[in-house]
Structure 1
Amino acid sequence: MTIPTRAPAPAPALIPVQVRAQAAAVRAAYALPRPLRRLIAGAPVRRDGQRLALDAQLLLSLQRISGNHLVRPAGVAASRVGLDHGRHLVSGPVIEPVATREIRIPVEYGELPATLYTPDGLAAPSGLLVFFHGGGWVLGTRTSHDNTARFLARHAGVRVLSVEYRLAPEHVFPAAVDDALAAFDHAHAEAADLGVDPDRIAVGGDSAGGNLAAVTAQLAVRRGGPAPAFQLLFYPAVDASRHRPSRELFADGFLLTSAHMDWFADHYAPEGVDRSDPRLSPLLTPDLTGLPPAYIATAGFDPLRDEGEAYAERLREAGVVVALSRQPDLIHGYINYLGIGRRFREATAEAAGALRLALSPNA
């Protein structure tokens, strides 16, 4: 069932005055001459043979000054509000012209909300990206990733279906997995209504959303029948069973911390959950043959970097076509920072180009 309407977004008047003031300060900081931006950001940061981009370092410095941290001490509700407010600082003006349409996906417990984004002038049938937002399975919404979905739709020349899957701790593992697979199945079954080619449907997402996309691809392939044509995975979380070197190298100071990752995992996969379950840790799936081609992006200064790259290597060993793109100078979450600087947009545009190519009618 579809309901023609605009995607939900807070009116500017509803944005707290303090948040609007912080957003203006962030824009002003990024408009400064480079020497002044460097002065605010501090001396260049080098680690593991990489140099942090000035755009990323300035963001981290402004975050420390403002106190806008990813996870708030007050708990889940406060962290969700903080993320919603934070998006106004970094996502930029709404990307237009992109039409939106509200979708209701039937599931056993009722309906799963989603938003369909269609860039202006895109003919039907087109390719489609079924997109799962990041946020550690605890935070994030379609609204928090609204401009990201718009950017990918416009720059890849595809429709994007952004899914409001259930979050923890209200709904623990594997609720989000069930919703993600249901969303892909609905997109395939209702392709004509959505204006898409059922043979050109990709799954994708960032961080926890990348996890859900990877798991959806695996489950769809293993059961037989409809499966995604492509995977677009941004710094995916793919192994909750162990720590790799990047988890220690970038444990603190680069937005997503090791402590944050524990906090997210404890909410989504609490005591009693087997964290080696491939539906939580898709890197541990014994057989990865037959999966769709993938573009996997990692960020150099990210605790998740090494597991994402390990997943790319395992896919290659299984004969899957993989493009691994490490953005060595960036931090976790970069596809959400499209309104500040240029480096974040450059990296996200590269991924959009890969998606465009993969879902081209002649691919």
Structure 2
Amino acid sequence: MNPRLDSVLRGAVAAVQANALTPLYALPTAVRRRLAGPPIQIDGNTLDPELQLLVRVEKLLPRTTKSDAATARAHLKTLCALVAGPPVELQRVTELTVRGADGQLGARLYVPRDAGRGLLVFLHGGGWVVGDLDTHDALCRSLSRDAGIRVLAVDYRLAPEAPAPTAAEDAIAAFTWAVDHAEDLGADPSLVAVGGDSAGGNLAAVVAQQCVRRNLPQPALQVLLYPALDLVNRRPSRDLFSEGMILTEDDIIWYRDHYTPDPKVRTDPVVSPLLAEDLTGLAPTYLTTGGFDPLRDEGAEYATALRAAGNDLTYVPHPSLTHGYANLLNIPGTTREAQTHLTTHLKSVLY
């Protein structure tokens, strides 16, 4: 790399350390491409160059090792603030409480201007250990505005303080509360969906399954963004992308061990929904995977299983994206295209 580009890259790293991605992505496209380096191609897929730049800059930052839950939670808050961009303006955002499995949970209702009648109960990612209403505030605002629907984000209880299946039971209780109170929230009870990213996608899949098993009201749609679905079995994508692509193998093990300190619970479909024996009769599904995500193969396998069981499925693989792309709202390129595809689908079903 020539000295001028090297200087630019050092400036980009400094900008990221200062929690400001805007200067990095304000650089001319040609400069960003050169900073990102030669295209990364793995397993027939080419990494989106805008994400490749972010991955490269991230590798130059001081490595943050997950030690305890509190430190990891603070780190995720910092990262999410970094990539969020300016807050999306909505008609209103309201703090409230919803029913959990054992008491009340914090929640946040997002209402856009000119809202339709649909409601998405959103369950944040973070390995069941980190994440909260604030880490996914930007994503929920964007979903609400662009799909024209209400979004109810739920602050379910986290591990290790509340190990599995606490988060799943909280999610089930919160979803059924949302259906029961849909009209109070300004929504149609028949248009209440459930969704989430990563660990939140796991919980959304559990909600959809358990609503059938427990004879509860079913979601109008389940939205599974690069979900974690199997805490027992390992697939090739775990080896292909074990390092350097946002979510690492060490991360996966750390989250799993905190959420399920008792390995015996990992085979339960309330923890690993991909292991459910019967997948018939589930809510219509919108499921995405990233081509550079260690969880890619379990998501693709669940899509195949859902289709084989006769379910209505919209499966959208994003070959050039990494895990966590939905939170990267301040990055141009394919991440924005993926967000547009999602919100268009949400609007078509729930508006």
Question: Fold-level match, TM-score > 0.5?
Answer: yes
Deviation at 1:23, TM superposition (A): 2.5
What is the match of residue 284 of structure 2? 293
Query: Aligned partners of 1:264, 1:98: CA distance in 2, in Å?
Result: 36
Query: Aligned partners of 1:140, 1:267: CA distance in 2, in Å?
Result: 14
Alpha-carbon displacement from aligned partner over 1:249-307 (angstroms, at most 9, x marks no partner): 11111010111101000000013432111011111111111001101010000000010
Residue 52 (structure 1) aligned to one of 47, 50, 72: 47
Deviation at 1:106, TM superposition (A): 3.3
Query: Aligned partners of 1:42, 1:319: CA distance in 2, in Å?
Result: 44
Residue 43 (structure 1) aligned to one of 38, 52, 77: 38
Query: Aligned partners of 1:108, 1:203: CA distance in 2, in Å?
Result: 17
Query: Aligned partners of 2:63, 2:94: CA distance in 1, in Å?
Result: 32
What is the match of residue 22 of structure 1? 18
Structure 2 counterpart SS, 1:170: coil
Matches within 5 A, 1:56-205: 56-67=51-62, 69=64, 72-107=65-100, 109-122=102-115, 126-205=117-196
Name the amino acid aligned to 2:250.
A
Residue 308 (structure 1) aligned to one of 281, 299, 302: 299
**TM-score calculated relative to the size of structure 2:** 0.93
Name the amino acid aligned to 2:330.
G
Unaligned 5+ segments in structure 1 are: 1-17
Q: Against the structure 1 CA distance between its residues 202 and 108, is the aligned structure 2 distance closer, same or farther, given a 3 Å change threshold?
A: closer
Deviation at 1:328, TM superposition (A): 0.5
Aligned length: 338
Q: Against the structure 1 CA distance between its residues 210 and 34, is the aligned structure 2 distance closer, same or farther, given a 3 Å change threshold?
A: same
Q: Is the 8 A contact 2:212 2:218 kept in 1?
A: yes
Structure 2 counterpart SS, 1:243: coil
Name the amino acid aligned to 2:60.
I
In angstroms, what is the RMSD of aligned CA positions? Answer: 1.6
* 1:327 maps onto 2:301 in alignment: no
Deviation at 1:35, TM superposition (A): 2.2
**TM-score calculated relative to the size of structure 1:** 0.90
Q: Is the 8 A contact 1:235 1:308 kept in 2?
A: yes
Unaligned 5+ segments in structure 2 are: 1-13
What is the match of residue 4 of structure 2? none
Percent identity of paired positions between Structure 1 and Structure 2: 47
Deviation at 1:212, TM superposition (A): 0.2
Query: Aligned partners of 1:21, 1:288: CA distance in 2, in Å?
Result: 45
Deviation at 1:19, TM superposition (A): 8.6
Query: Aligned partners of 1:253, 1:296: CA distance in 2, in Å?
Result: 24
